Every structure is written in C-alpha cells, then in structure tokens.
Amino acid sequence: GTFILIFFLPATVFYLLLMCKQDDPSLLNFPPPLPALESLWETRVFGVFLLWFFFQALLYLLPVGKVVEGLPLSSGRKLQYRINGFYAFVLTAAVIGTLLYFQFELHYLYDHFMQFAVSAAAFSMVLSIYLYIRSLKAPEEELAPGGNSGYFVYDFFTGHELNPRIGSFDLKYFCELRPGLIGWVVINLAMLLAEMKIHNQSMPSLAMILVNSFQLLYVVDALWNEEAVLTTMDITHDGFGFMLAFGDLVWVPFVYSLQAFYLVSHPIAISWPAAAAITVLNCIGYYIFRSANSQKNSFRRNPADPKLASLKFIPTATGKGLLVTGWWGFVRHPNYLGDIIMALAWSLPCGFNHILPYFYVIYFICLLVHREARDEHHCKQKYGLAWERYCQRVPYRIFPYIY
C-alpha cells in the first residue's frame, strides 16, 4: 500500500492541477491532456523553491521568540523548540509586500505553478531519502513507534526517525508549519493577483477574497498557536518520512490552494447574503476547532491550571487525564468537527458547477476518518480501561457509522 502511495500521491497532485486548468474541469473529462515532459521542469523555478525553503530555514534560526519544551519522549527526555513561526510569517509578509511594491510579478507563481509543484515534489523525495538514510544510524529509542516495522518501503513512507535534528534544527517541526503552510498563503495571494490580471479586474472577486481570508485565518491561527503543534500526533507519534515531507511541502501548499487556483480560471459571482452565510459557517467551524484544540493543549501542558478548574477528567495509569467535560466531553475529537466545517466553508465560494474545488473537504473527511481510527487505537493501547471508561462517558463520535 505505501509503495503505491509514493507514486499515487504525486500523481493525484498533478492530476488535480491539470484538471483545474481545463476549461471544463468535469471529472468526466478524463484524462486531461498531458503536458510535454520537458515543460514540467525549469531550473530557475527549482532555484526559487530552494531560495524559499532556505529563507524560511533562516527565519526559523532567528533567536527571537520563546523556547519551550515538548512532551516527554519515551526515554523521559524533553526536546526544546523555538516558537517563532508567527514572526517568520510577519517577516515573510514584509518581504513579499516590499517585492510587490517594487513591481515584482507574484503571478510568476501562477504561470509556473506545475513546475513549482514538480520542484517541491523532487525536493521532498530527496529529503525523504536523506531522512531514511540518517535514521539507519539513529539509536532505537529515537525511532518512531509506527515507522519501525523493519520493512524498508513502509518505514521510508511513514518515517523511521521520530525527531530528526541537525544540531538544534528540528527538521519535522520546521517543515510542519513553515515552508508549506506559509507558502500556501503566498500561493493564494499569487492566485488572487493572477485573477485580477487575467480578468482585468481592479478588485479580486468576492469568492477569491473569501477563500483567501478563510485560509489566511487558518494559517495565522496555526502559527499564532504554534506551541499547540507540539501535542499533536504528527510531532508526538509520527516519524518524519515521505508521508509528512510530501504532505508538508507539496500536498499542503499545492492541494490546499486548489480553490484559489480553480477560481482564477473559473470565476464565480456569489451574492453578499451567500458570502455572509459562508462566513458565519467558517466562524462556527473556527470557534469549535480553536476552543477544542486550546482546551486539550492547555490541559496537557498544565492540568492544574486554575482556568481549567471547571473541567472534569478521568485519571489514567500513565499519569495523564482524559477530559470528560468541555468540548472533549461533548464528542470524541471535537477539533476534527470544527476543521471539517471550515473545510466546507472554503469550498462553498467556488459554487456548485464542479466537484473539483470540493476535493479538499472530501479528502479531509477521509483523512480524519483514518486519523480518528488510528488515534482511537493508540489511545486504547495507551490508556486501556481508562479509555474504555472515557468511551462510555463520551459515546459520541464525529464519524459514528463509518467503522
């Protein structure tokens, strides 16, 4: 399965991007005409990609922002992480703003979008090979529990080493929130400018403004709450291999920006009441997502926090508690529910002519169904009887009938 995914995931990205460029992006219009192989690569584009990656790495190294400890590793050791993602975003915004002021044509990104995706995919493959080779020398306790099967392809895909670092530079933590996530916002902006240029508009369309604003909020939120990423499964459980490298550097920036990319060639006029309704939906999703994630993150960081005094929890043998009131007592994985509502709000501005801009919400539901199943399994193993008691107290799941 993982062997097939190594080819299937890049193929899906290129298929989606090719479809988006079609006048009629209907799924029945399959296969889209394939571009000439040599048109997919341009060394200059790869150079711009590298410049972007290393610029973000430089910002990550800046000695600004606090340094915090991650959750304890299996050895009991805690790694240190610098929290400066939001500063990196602000500095990047200042640089992009300056470039635009000096007439830099950001829609270069739109014009060479496929080549950028190919460059990012090639880079993530090289990075994954490097990660796997270095993981062979990593001590046993530094390997990811889920990526240590002994099968080369499986471990290469899921990630063999849990927290690969070069000195204090944490490769997984850096890739999680920086080049891809900030890159996604820059791509969206490039699409907005491309739309204005191509359609000769003095203002972006309402649909484009909604998509850009909603996704900007999501990214800024992730960077503002950067510390919360330290308690997510990606950091605490999953190794750093092809799955996360490709996901962070290719899938997020090039697939999550699909709605903006779609709108450039398929403009939609939406009414103000429709825009207001979609905005309310996005705000509801955001509220659930943010409050659920913050509640769990604060509880994990400091269960004795007086602000959490009203929350009840079940103690477990590991010393950690399981919340049974608040969001986590309402439904299991309330944070996924908020995320799905937002995903729908990002697609709705693209109208109902084609299913393509709904790819994100469909894929995301599949991802979260699988993720929830994985997490339930881990929690059952980790907490045993306490997890069963939690499930009795909180029987509701967001995907109750799927498995």
Shortest Å, Cβ 169 to ligand NDP: 22
# chain residues binding ligand NDP, by CB under 6 A: 22
Binding mask 275-314 for ligand NDP (x = CB under 6 A): --------------x---x--x--xx--------------
Tokens of 116: 């950028």
Binding-site member from 206, 268, 375, 397 for ligand NDP (CB under 6 A)? 375
Q: How many CB atoms lie within 10 A of CB 258?
A: 25
User: Which region, judged by CB under 6 A, interacts with ligand NDP, from 98-106, 122-130, 179-187, 226-234?
Assistant: 226-234
Partner residues linked to 26 by β-bridges? none
Cβ–Cβ under 8 Å, residues 14 and 84: no
Shortest Å, Cβ 239 to ligand NDP: 14
Residue 53 binding ligand NDP, by CB under 6 A: no
Shortest Å, Cβ 178 to ligand NDP: 15
Shortest Å, Cβ 204 to ligand NDP: 24
Closer Cβ to ligand NDP, 127 or 255, answer by number: 255
Cβ–Cβ under 8 Å, residues 201 and 194: no
Closer Cβ to ligand NDP, 112 or 320, answer by number: 320
User: Which region, judged by CB under 6 A, interacts with ligand NDP, from 35-43, 60-68, 182-190, 373-381?
Assistant: 373-381
Residue type at position 337: L
Closer Cβ to ligand NDP, 91 or 394, answer by number: 394
Shortest Å, Cβ 379 to ligand NDP: 5
CA distance 302 to 299: 5
Shortest Å, Cβ 365 to ligand NDP: 11
Closest C-alpha to 239, from 141, 162, 150, 171: 162
Closer Cβ to ligand NDP, 232 or 265, answer by number: 232
Shortest Å, Cβ 228 to ligand NDP: 8
Closer Cβ to ligand NDP, 172 or 333, answer by number: 333
Residue 371 binding ligand NDP, by CB under 6 A: yes
Closer Cβ to ligand NDP, 275 or 379, answer by number: 379
Residue 226 binding ligand NDP, by CB under 6 A: no
Shortest Å, Cβ 131 to ligand NDP: 20
| Of residues 311-350, those binding ligand NDP (CB under 6 A) | 320, 322-323, 328, 333, 335-336, 339
Residues that bind ligand NDP (CB under 6 A): 231-234, 289, 293, 296, 299-300, 320, 322-323, 328, 333, 335-336, 339, 371, 375, 378-379, 390
